[in-house]
């Protein structure tokens, strides 16, 4: 639970979640890909600031889509100052996912929701693997799975691929399949729409060969990212490297099973480490993270006065 005067934000493509000192998690629509990031975060702060307690307020943010241009805590502070904010900490959601799951431990966290990013932290090394967005990365994540599902459905529709029960799943949203690509191109929410099909893929994996193949491939991609991070932080010689699997795609079902199975091909004793908390816990930890921590250089801070 955040202290009074602290606004903790986990900002993603599906939803923006906020926790205040009352412990309640408030949810807002996810980030709009076609709009600037920092004003969107400030919009959320404006809505919750009156509920955050007496000022001055502190805002702690872990967010996806944090490009070099947007990684500007001073600008976020400027946008939030009218709402009583005096301190800001801003970082990528991979950092807050790591801190929430492993706290002060050294290891690897893969977070697979709409996107998919892996972060490894060794004694001094930090390795980010993937998390490069739906156009050029995020292999194995919810959007990737949904995109594979739509591709498989259209291949079945025009004769290039086998019939699949995923057709019914997609047709619930797009009854006229041949119009789907046009409707998606003009839908400002197209990333979440595509990612929404991932649930159907996972649900059908036990009975549909196409869905099963997509889930197996998703798990293989995610295991590859994990193994790469383990190698880069220098813990590959451990019989059971410390790895936490988090996010909706890795919560249960065939993608998680596939990821674990592929990791056990290399580390037969591998058992996932249970996450100690979530991304909101990781964002809250930004307030007290010491300068000696390897992740401290990835956290932007700004204060007023």
Q: Is 142 among the domain residues?
A: yes
Whether 110 contacts 118, CB under 8 Å: yes
Q: What is the CATH number of the domain that holds 147?
A: 3.30.420.40
Global model pTM greater than 0.85: yes
Same domain, 242 and 133: yes
3-class secondary structure, 237: coil
Same domain, 132 and 248: yes
Task: Round to whole Å and give the CA distance between 10 and 233.
Answer: 26
* Domain range for 263: 104-275
Taking residues 215-242, what's their average pLDDT? 97
Same domain, 134 and 232: yes
Q: Among the listed ranges 63-67, 157-161, 165-169, which one has the minimum average pLDDT value?
A: 63-67
Listed residue (296, 243, 278) closest to 120, CA to CA: 243
Number of domains observed in the structure of the chain: 2
3-class secondary structure, 301: strand
User: CA 104, 229, 148, 34 torsion: positive or negative?
Assistant: positive
Whether 174 contacts 183, CB under 8 Å: yes
The per-residue DSSP string of 128-171 comes to EEE--HHHH--TTSHHHHHHHHHHHHHHHHHTSS---THHHHHH
Taking residues 10-16, what's their average pLDDT? 86
Same domain, 158 and 265: yes
pLDDT of the residue at 2: 64
Q: Is 99 among the domain residues?
A: no
- Residue 1 banded pLDDT, cuts 50, 70, 90: low
Task: Round to whole Å and give the CA distance between 186 and 294.
Answer: 42
Q: Tell me how far apart the 2 most distant CA atoms of the chain are, in Å.
A: 65
Listed residue (3, 63, 72, 57) closest to 28, CA to CA: 63
CA distances (Å), 179 to each of 134, 154, 161, 201, 299, in order? 22, 11, 19, 21, 44
The pLDDT tens digits for 95-151 are 999 999 999 899 999 999 989 999 999 988 999 999 998 889 999 999 999 999 999
């Amino acid at each position: 639970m955040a202290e009074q005067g602290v606004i903790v934000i986990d900002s993603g493509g599906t939803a923006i979640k906020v926790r205040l000192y009352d412990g309640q998690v408030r949810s807002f629509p996810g980030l709009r890909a076609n709009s600037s990031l920092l004003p969107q975060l400030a919009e959320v702060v404006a809505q919750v600031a009156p509920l955050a307690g007496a000022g001055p307020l502190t805002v702690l943010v872990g967010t996806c889509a944090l490009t070099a241009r947007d990684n500007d805590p001073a600008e976020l502070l400027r946008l939030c100052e009218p709402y009583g904010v005096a301190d800001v900490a801003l970082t990528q959601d991979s950092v807050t996912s790591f801190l929430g799951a492993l706290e002060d431990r050294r290891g690897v966290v893969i977070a697979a929701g709409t996107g998919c990013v892996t972060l490894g932290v060794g004694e001094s090394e930090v390795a980010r693997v993937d998390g490069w967005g739906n156009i050029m990365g995020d292999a194995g994540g919810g959007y990737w799975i949904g995109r594979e599902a739509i591709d498989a459905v259209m291949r079945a529709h025009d004769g290039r691929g086998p019939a699949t029960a995923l057709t019914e799943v997609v047709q619930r949203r797009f009854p006229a399949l041949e119009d789907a690509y046009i409707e998606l191109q003009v839908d400002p929410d197209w990333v979440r729409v595509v990612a929404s099909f991932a649930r159907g893929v996972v649900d059908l994996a036990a009975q549909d060969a196409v869905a099963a193949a997509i889930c197996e491939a998703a798990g293989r991609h995610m295991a590859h990212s994990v193994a790469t991070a383990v190698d880069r932080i220098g813990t590959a010689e451990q019989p059971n490297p410390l790895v936490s699997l988090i996010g909706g795609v890795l919560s249960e079902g065939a993608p998680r099973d596939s990821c674990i199975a592929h990791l056990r091909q290399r580390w037969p004793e591998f058992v996932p480490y249970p996450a100690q908390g979530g991304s909101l816990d990781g964002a809250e930890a930004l307030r007290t993270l010491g300068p000696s921590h390897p992740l401290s250089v990835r956290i932007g801070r700004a204060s007023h006065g």
